[in-house]
Amino acid sequence: MSNFDAKKVKNEIVLWIRDWFEENGKNCRCVLGVSGGKDSSVVAALAVEALGKDRVLGVLMPQGRQSDIEYSYMLCNFLEIQRIIVPVGGIVNSATYEIETSMDKKMSIQAITNLPPRIRMAVLYAVSQSVNGRVANTCNLSEDWIGYATRYGDSAGDFSPLSNLTVTEVRAIGHELGLPSVLVDKVPSDGLCGKSDEDNLGFTYDVLDKYIRTGEIEDSTIKEKIDALHEKNLFKLQPMPSFSYDGSHTDTSKKTKSMKKFKVTQDADYVVGHLRYGHREGIIEAESIEDALYKLQNKGYTDYLDFKVDSCEVEDADFDDMPFEIEEVTD
């Protein structure tokens, strides 16, 4: 990562933001939540350079007393951008009370932890739609990689300048922008449970960033932990799955580019009729032979197989415990 050109990448992001607003929000304002950490600081500074300070609005959303809110003030004053303060503590408390009362049980720890960032994002969009704005996402690659973002909370937004940059790279851009070191080098925290990210994770962002960029890591235990977190949280980075239907009466299971066609044949265990031979066969779509077998055994895909009479008349047949022959169909 020593070859990272912070100046070049910074300039490219500024042009990208400028072009994005030209196409998706000409004359709109950039609206972002300001926490006083490196990510919101860097995104705000990039937006100011791309759009001008008058088109950037910082929204401070403390939940009760926020011990480090002075960093948020510092950033807004340093960049000379407008700021508004929308306390969210009352909203969070009210929502928590109503939810727990309706369910007649306490919310889970995970729900309690993720409710504030989701409410903050709702506030940002309410503000944005009231000032002709576009909401900036402030997540970075490192935190996204291990799931340190709340789905439909801080992971939301209209555009994302930092989502492909590691923490190390974001810091380098922050220094290139001339931001105060106290903002750029502030110890990262999730802002939820009072601990630093690295305390919670058990490894540093330097280790994580090197692993992301080079695949190199010394501690196999940490590697396993990072890989497990990444795999567990991949769904947060993917579009919402949707049921695929085109209005026809064909197989409406989800079709993707990874789907293949398989010919399935299954001999009958016994048949009722004058002669005792028969089988069923058909074409189904699945991702693999294993997926096809699973669908046949568990998802009712045998309904797509037609019974074939091998010899004379057959009145009924049983297929229990008979194996499937599955062969991929190539065009």
Q: Is 244 inside any structural domain?
A: no
Q: Taking Cα atoms as reference points, which of 70, 46, 64 lies closest to residue 56? A: 46
pLDDT band at residue 188 under the 50/70/90 scheme:
low
Q: What are 211-241's pLDDT values in tens digits? A: 999 999 999 999 999 999 999 988 888 888 8
Residues 218 and 116 in one domain: yes
Query: Tokens 């809110």 appear where?
Result: 69
Structural domain range at position 267: 260-329
pLDDT at 252: 46
Residues 289 and 322 in one domain: yes
Half-sphere exposure of 187 (CA within 13 A, CB side): 9
Q: Is 254 inside any structural domain?
A: no
Q: What are 286-323's pLDDT values in tens digits? A: 888 877 887 777 777 777 777 676 655 555 566 666 77
Q: What are 252-271's pLDDT values in tens digits? A: 444 445 678 878 888 776 55
Q: What are 143-184's pLDDT values in tens digits? A: 999 998 999 999 999 999 999 999 999 999 999 999 999 999
Give the 3-state secondary structure of residue 247.
coil
CA separation, residue 247 to residues 27, 250, 330 (Å):
40, 9, 26
pLDDT at 254: 47
Please compute the mean of the pLDDT values over residues 178-195 and round it to a whole number. Answer: 78
**Contacts for 180 with CB less than 8 Å, ≥ 6 apart:** 74, 78
If DSSP states are collapsed to H, E and C, what string results for 191-245?
CCCCCEHHHHHCCCHHHHHHHHHHCCCCCHHHHHHHHHHHHHHHHHHCCCCCCCC
Q: Is 14 inside any structural domain?
A: yes
Residues 132 and 280 in one domain: no
Q: What are the tokens at 174?
A: 């922050």
Residues 55 and 165 in one domain: yes
Q: What are the tokens at 86?
A: 């929308």
Residue 155 and residue 138 in contact, taking contact as beta carbons nearer than 8 Å:
no
Residues 324 and 189 in one domain: no
Residues 69 and 171 in one domain: yes
Residue 278 and residue 315 in contact, taking contact as beta carbons nearer than 8 Å:
no
pLDDT at 247: 79
Q: Is 189 inside any structural domain?
A: yes
Q: Is 251 inside any structural domain?
A: no
Q: Are strands 325-329 and 260-267 parallel, antiparallel or unpaired?
A: antiparallel
d(CA 69, CA 77): 13
CA separation, residue 73 to residues 141, 164, 184 (Å):
26, 27, 14
Residues 73 and 166 in one domain: yes
Looking at residue 159, what DSSP letter applies? Answer: B
pLDDT at 282: 83
Q: What are phi and psi of 288, to 5 degrees?
A: -160, 175
Among 19-23, 38-42, 92-96, 196-200, where is mean pLDDT lowest?
Answer: 196-200
Considering only residues 297 and 113, tell me which one the structure prediction assigns the higher pLDDT: 113
d(CA 39, CA 137): 9
What sections of 25-108 are H helices per DSSP?
38-51, 69-79, 89-103
Give the 3-state secondary structure of residue 259.
coil
Q: What are the tokens at 218?
A: 């010394």
Residues 133 and 48 in one domain: yes
d(CA 250, CA 34): 50
Is the CA virtual torsion 105, 111, 113, 114 positive or negative? negative
Query: Tokens 């049921």 appear where?
Result: 243
Total domains in the fold of the chain: 2
Q: Which of 203, 237, 271 is the last residue of a domain?
A: 237
Which pTM was predicted? 0.73
pLDDT at 309: 62
Residues 323 and 185 in one domain: no
Give the 3-state secondary structure of residue 95.
helix
Query: Tokens 């720890």 appear where?
Result: 109
Q: Is 243 inside any structural domain?
A: no
Q: What are 13-60's pLDDT values in tens digits? A: 999 999 999 999 999 999 999 999 999 999 999 999 999 999 999 999
pLDDT at 198: 82
pLDDT at 34: 97
pLDDT surpassing 80 at residue 209: yes
Say which amino acid occupies 97.
Answer: Y
Residues 208 and 164 in one domain: yes
Q: What are 116-134's pLDDT values in tens digits? A: 999 999 999 999 999 999 9
